[in-house]
Amino acid sequence: MDNKLAIFIPNLINWDGNKQIIGGLERYMIALAELMTEMGYDLSFHQNAHHDFSNYSLDWPVYGYQADSRDLHKTIERMEKEISGRVLYSSIVQQTFYRPQSICISHGVWWEVPGSSPLQARKYYESHVASALEQASLIVSCDYNFLNVTRAIYPHLADQKVRVIPNFADSRYYYPRKPKNTDRVRILYPRRLSPERGFGILKEVIPPLLARFPQVEFEFAIDTNKPEYLDLFYQWRENVTGKESILYCHPDYQSMPDVYARADIVVIPSIYSEGTSFSCLEAMAMGKAVIATDVGGLTNLIINGYNGLLIHPSIESLYQSLLFLIENPSVCTRLGEYAYTTSQAFTRQAWEARWRQCIHKIYPLS
């Protein structure tokens, strides 16, 4: 069969077509594209855009389709009409139509927004999840939370169509470094500033912790995808007493191991829409003490008190867990050691091996 394959993605580069997006889904799809290229596939990416464009700055062509953010289904309809051949769908949230003999990827349950109604949740899974189950050949999920939720709602289809391939930490770049020679305690937030990632609860615990512990500092490793989020972050920081202990950087993928190496504690305070977080896995692979919320796929990674702290997504829980680790550095060391050991079950090699099986089955080459 033809080795050409199109990948539909919300955005691999920004909507202007001139800057790579930094994020988990985007990193996931780059890793998958690298694997499929090695396997002999000729790939192209197709995404939303402010205007039509063609970009060749990455290892694969990226085509933008003019989109209205209020009516994105029309953009998908246009992609479906203009692209022939086989398609891999990078996000189950993007569309409700799938070609036969195709794979759709779920990056986690996304409809558990705090305060939303059962009717709102039902709207999402009856449209997006049901459509993928009925039309696609396979849904690859990055966590068991999606599988179990789907199995509870659609038991007749979930076991047939959903397979779990957890995310990974690349051991070529993420591994424990020598301990720092400093008395400072650095707490790292390596996340987007979007609401689901938990910045809203973290910012509430920082002022009292800085007031109580002069040796503590926070570092935010944040992307620049959303200027409006950055503006809110800068405004908040400017008004915090002790702002000189609130550091920030805008690293690319290659710089992240050095960012983790500077940290003692890593916080993953997601409040909804989380899979087997790259940030969590990479912090674990670096041997760091991780505090993660009991949301989505994080529960597949952290065993509370063994390889990290798994907490309720609330201000009080986050404050108490940070307080405990700041006052107990030996616990940080122990949690980090077991976090590293656990991360060895989530290697890129294992991820690639499981993906190869799925690709060969759904998109065979002649």
Per residue in 143-177, pLDDT (tens digit) is: 999 999 999 999 999 999 999 999 999 999 999 99
Per residue in 193-245, pLDDT (tens digit) is: 999 999 999 999 999 999 999 999 999 999 998 999 999 999 999 999 999 99
pTM comes to 0.96
Query: What pLDDT score does 182 carry?
Result: 84
Q: Give 334's contacts (C-beta < 8 A, 6+ positions apart).
A: none
Q: How far is CA 85 from CA 5, 82, 162, 174, 344, in A?
A: 7, 10, 23, 37, 38
Average pLDDT of the segment spanning 98-112:
96
Q: Tokens in use for 277?
A: 């977080």
CATH tag for 185-343 (out of 3.40.50.150, 3.40.50.2000, 1.10.287.3510, 3.20.20.70): 3.40.50.2000
| Contact between residue 271 and residue 313 where contact means Cβ atoms under 8 Å apart | yes
Query: What pLDDT score does 366 carry?
Result: 77
Alpha helix stretches (DSSP H) within the chain:
24-38, 73-82, 118-124, 130-135, 144-153, 155-161, 199-212, 227-238, 256-261, 278-285, 315-327, 329-343, 348-362
Query: What pLDDT score does 1 carry?
Result: 65
The answer to whether domain 4-168+348-362 has CATH 3.40.50.720 is no
| Per-residue pLDDT band at 135 (split at 50, 70, 90) | very high
Query: What pLDDT score does 198 carry?
Result: 97
Gyration radius of the chain's alpha carbons: 21
Q: Indicate where the chain has its CATH 3.40.50.2000 domain(s).
A: 4-168+348-362, 185-343
Q: Give 104's contacts (C-beta < 8 A, 6+ positions apart).
A: 89, 92, 98, 132, 136, 138, 139, 140
Query: What pLDDT score does 179 carry?
Result: 81
Task: Give kind and range of the element (H or E) at residue 248.
Answer: strand 246-249
| Per-residue pLDDT band at 133 (split at 50, 70, 90) | very high
Query: In the chain, what percentage of residues exceed pLDDT 90?
Result: 94
Q: Give 364's contacts (C-beta < 8 A, 6+ positions apart).
A: 1
Residue that is written with structure tokens 């919300």 in the block: 10
